[in-house]
Amino acid sequence: MPFQQLKLIEPLMRALKKQGYVKPTPIQEKAIPPLLAGRDLMGIAQTGTGKTAAFTLPILQLLSQDPDPLVPTSPKVLILTPTRELAMQIDESVAAYGEFLRVRHAVVFGGVGQNPQVRALSHGVDFLTATPGRLLDLINQRHVRLDGVKFFVLDEADRMLDMGFIRDVRKIVALLPHHRHSLFFSATMAPEVTDLARTLLKDPFRVEVTPERKTVEKIEQRVLFVDQGNKDKLLVQLLRQDHLTRTLVFTLMKHKANKVAHMLSQNGIPADAIHGNKSQSARVRALENFKNGRVSVLVATDIAARGIDIDDISHVINYDLPNEPETYVHRIGRTARAGAEGTAYSFCSGDERSYLTDIQRLIGMPIPVMDHALHSESAKNETRQALSPQQRSRGGGGGRRFGHSSGQGGHGRSGGGRPFGGSSHGGSRFAPRRPYRR
């Protein structure tokens, strides 16, 4: 379907042309008509599907017909999003899609001085994109009021819940006018997410896009079995050998992201790290350097990487395998954005072997093994399960990951609740390895 069929106004069509978009993505195709007709929307979609344009374009179109003048400190559109990176990207998208409508927009998030944000709001804006904490601060100081909001977008609602923002979100929602147009996006629909949606939306139109399978199939995936101690060396070898023009490397922990970036730089591979402990300006700088090609490798943790909108990522490397298989899909989906092709390499050590099994089960196919000089046959053949966070917090020894009652390789219940024959304080090589705090 071409964009023409969506009946978007000329200034929007011009902006889309400038962006180089040829046809709408599935979520745009499904969501734009009901939104233009004034319906509330419940969108089940993740970043990377084109959802930002799916909600921004119809709002811009409806606003272009709105005769009310701008009022200082009182935005007409409020977009709430969990992370600063995402907030900045949405604001950039609003600017891009609204370029020929002279839309006024501002973005507010914590971690930076509030004065420029306050100044921007004081002139009056159409669109305000915000993270919840900073928005509440500004509301409390009377730099923003929400009684003029006509469109409310709650983006990444599941992440809002995960990150503990639900109370802030509810406080903000309570300040919105009753009569408004509401849009709700979430990658997943857990019961709490559904509950929240129900309180926000009126007779919503439901749109679901599940790009995972398709995305995953488009990405060339390889698993590299390697011992934990050889991962650094393998990473350097891989980054030197292949034509990895723009690579996102994932680690589970913040400190590991720093260590890996430092290690790469010392080996002559310019790299930067991005994670929650970095200051906002350091994160922005790292992203900019990566976008403009000054560094070709960005090392990130999952939360920091979520929502980063960088096109042309040629490779994703999982330095650590995630213990949640869905995270794997999110990570590798960073490459092969909007039709591009990409490659994902995953390092898998013996203690991560069971995570690989879970991932393959989720994506419904085996990931081909890549041969390399540091290949670990023992990692490949490892059959024991890694421990879950709950098991670790109970002492690290007892039980198998899925609660199977018997062990493999002769270590069953007879091991006194220590199926791998390790000590209850992590003598098992599986117990202490996996950091779960991110």
**Residue span 165-204 as binding mask against ligand AMP, x where in contact by CB under 6 A, dash where not:** ----------------------------------------
* 159 makes contact with ligand AMP (CB under 6 A): no
Per CB under 6 A, 52 contacts ligand AMP:
yes
In this complex, which beta carbon is closest to ligand AMP, that of residue 47 or of residue 318?
47
- For the CB of residue 16, give the shortest distance to ligand AMP in the complex, in Å: 7
How far apart, in whole angstroms, are the C-alpha atoms of residue 296 and residue 304? 17
Helix (H) or strand (E) holding 287: helix 280-291
Here the tokens at position 58 are 């119809």
We find the least distance from the C-beta atom of residue 338 to ligand AMP, in angstroms, to be: 4
Q: Pick from 6, 41, 44, 53: which binds ligand AMP (CB under 6 A)?
A: 53
* Least Cβ distance, residue 41 to ligand AMP (angstroms): 14
CB of 191 to ligand AMP, least distance (A): 25
Pick the piece of the chain touching ligand AMP (CB under 6 A) from 46-54, 128-136, 274-282, 365-373: 46-54
Q: Under the criterion CB under 6 A, does residue 83 sit at the interface with ligand AMP?
A: no
Instruction: Pick left, alpha or beta for residue 224 (phi over 0 → left; psi -120 to 50 → alpha; otherwise beta).
Output: beta
* Residue 48 found at the interface with ligand AMP (CB under 6 A): yes
Quick one: which segment of 49-57, 179-187, 191-199, 355-363 binds ligand AMP (CB under 6 A)?
49-57
Partners of residue 318 on adjacent β-strands: 250, 346
The backbone torsions φ and ψ at residue 127, rounded to the nearest 5 degrees and listed phi first, read -110, 130
Size of the site for ligand AMP (CB under 6 A): 15
Query: Which of 29, 85, 309, 352: binder of ligand AMP (CB under 6 A)?
Result: 309
Q: How far apart are CA 138 and CA 121, in angstroms?
A: 10
- Alpha-carbon gap, residue 172 to 149, rounded angstroms: 11
Over the window 129 to 158, marking each residue x when it contacts ligand AMP by CB under 6 A and - when it does not, the resulting string is ------------------------------
The residue behind tokens 């969990």 is 82
Does position 82 bind ligand AMP by CB under 6 A?
A: no
Closest approach of ligand AMP to the CB of residue 8, in Å: 11
Q: Is 25 in the site for ligand AMP (CB under 6 A)?
A: yes
With beta carbons less than 8 A apart as the criterion, state whether 313 and 248 touch: yes
Please count the other Cβ atoms lying within 10 Å of the Cβ belonging to residue 354: 22
Question: At CB < 8 A and 24+ separation, what contacts does 187-195 make?
Answer: 187/44, 187/45, 187/46, 187/47, 187/156, 187/158, 187/159, 188/44, 188/158, 188/326, 189/44, 189/158, 190/158, 190/161, 192/161, 192/166, 193/157, 193/158, 193/161
The one among 1, 338, 365, 369 contacting ligand AMP by CB under 6 A: 338
Please state, in angstroms and as integers, the Cα–Cα distance from residue 218 to each residue in 11, 262, 343, 355, 369, following that order: 33, 32, 9, 22, 17
DSSP 323-361: SSHHHHHHHHTTSSGGG---EEEEEE-GGGHHHHHHHHH
| 150 or 337: CB nearest ligand AMP | 337
Among residues 49, 221, 343, 385, which is the contact residue for ligand AMP, using CB under 6 A?
49
The residues of the shown chain that bind ligand AMP, judged by CB under 6 A, are: 21, 24-25, 28, 47-53, 309, 311, 337-338
